[in-house]
Homo-oligomer: A and B are copies of this chain.
């Protein structure tokens, strides 16, 4: 499996990532321009590296014809938001769109991973136009708060540093950090709630 083979495999995924970056970034603009609160703070996207795909191909003993179907995260979109509540608003928004179909979702926000990892994951089907006609690709969308992202960024750079063998004492520190972030996200959620209540009581007064 050589470079030309990979370029052709990855082409439609890069297109999908680029299109989705435009679309989700536009939601931020659209909210700002209409004076609405944007549940999305920022968006990033990437196509999985060939070396990482090859790892998965070998680990899962896949045939090259199965790559498109069995590797669900070749195209990845990450959506960052301020409050835990925003995550579920974005999930609902994605379900309502006509340009993608949700294949499956995993709620690692409520069902925290053992490592301390939290995020909401969705796999969606998305249609792109290639020179050879239309093609349906899978895209993994990760939705998380800034706090969850902060933790995941650091955990990822440690995983990389220690080649996926983080020593126990550092793993403990990461757990403690994850707990601190959960506390922080809860603190923020209660701020969020109070804001909403104070706003709705303000609106009620204004209506009298």
Chain A residues with CB under 8 Å of chain B are: 4, 7-8, 11, 14-15, 18-19, 22-23, 26-27, 29-31, 33-34, 36, 41, 82, 96-99, 127, 129-131, 133-134, 146-147, 149-150, 153-154, 157-158, 161, 167, 169-170, 173-174, 176-177, 180-181, 183-184, 187-188, 190-191, 194-195, 198
Contacting residues, chain B, for A190 (C-beta < 8 A): 173
- Tell me whether B33 and A11 are in contact (CB under 8 A): yes
A157 close to B82 (CB less than 8 A): yes
The 4 A-B pairs of least Cβ separation, nearest first, read A180-B184, A146-B150, A173-B191, A7-B33
The oligomer's copy count stands at 4
> In whole angstroms, how far apart are the Cα atoms of A190 and B190 in the complex?
29
CA distance A134 to B23 in the complex (A): 12
Q: Which chain B residues border A30 with CB–CB below 8 Å?
A: 11, 15, 130-131
Asked if residues B191 and A170 are in contact (CB atoms below 8 Å), the reply is: yes
Distance of A27 Cα from B190 Cα, bound (Å): 38
Q: Which residue of B lies closest to A7 (CB)?
A: B33
